[in-house]
Amino acid sequence: MKIILHPAIERGHAHHGWLDAHHYFSFANWYHPQKNNFGALRVLNDDKIEAGMGFGTHPHDNMEIVTIPLRGAVAHNDSMGNSGVIKVGDVQIMSAGTGVYHSEFNASKTEVLELFQLWIFPKVRDIIPRYEQKSFPLEFSHNSFSMLVSPTNEDDSIWINQDAFFSIGTFDENQTLEYVVRMKGNGAFILLIDGCVSIAEQLLERRDAIGVWDTEKITLETKKHSKILVVEVPMIEAAF
């Protein structure tokens, strides 16, 4: 088993007034030579966006973009004709493929929006851009992992153009659980959203993360009530 720690305190940070962003991997003006990606996972941003503010229309191509709201709601518009709101409990994925434009704003005029956005290198390049959004019953993820994203629509998850799997769960204190890697050669980037968890003899607290690979399963022990996101991806060499 191999591991790499991503303590919350070591994340990149940018504060633009309307946007308070933390980066787990090199992004925008923040560069870390050892933290450019974890396999096919290129970007994981932990963003807070002030009421009524957001990102104006901008382009993407050849990237799988996943948005997970934690608090509040995202107002989304894109060049494919999609327009709507992504709420807590929803997951949005956009395959940028040959190219797409979109905008993302805080849908509220009074409340702060908090979200994770993740970018995954695609398995097949230059596909026709696509959009999908789905609501997941939050109670399904108590003391077990619920599948959000997969390449097979497993467990009613949403499809991704990569051999990647996103799972989330909320666990009580003093639970011992096991994450089994779903595809040989994949690694798991485990982000502790809240709580305290021991993984591979490393103690993780709120917003700490750990990348684990060269193993078939990973044991986690919760020290507090914890919410955990697992992003399993191929351990590809990424050039950019």
In a domain, 62, yes or no: yes
In a domain, 88, yes or no: yes
Domain limits for position 183 = 2-234
Q: Does residue 138 have a pLDDT over 90?
A: no
In a domain, 240, yes or no: no
Q: What's the pLDDT tens digit per position in 73-126?
A: 999 999 999 999 999 999 999 999 999 999 999 999 999 999 999 999 999 999
Average pLDDT value for residue range 225-237: 95
The total number of structural domains in the chain stands at 1
In a domain, 239, yes or no: no
In a domain, 90, yes or no: yes
In a domain, 114, yes or no: yes
Average pLDDT value for residue range 122-132: 97
Q: How far, in Å, CA of 18 to CA of 198, rounded?
A: 34
Q: What average pLDDT is seen over the chain?
A: 95
Q: Look up the CATH number of the domain holding residue 181.
A: 2.60.120.10
**Residue-level pLDDT at 44:** 98
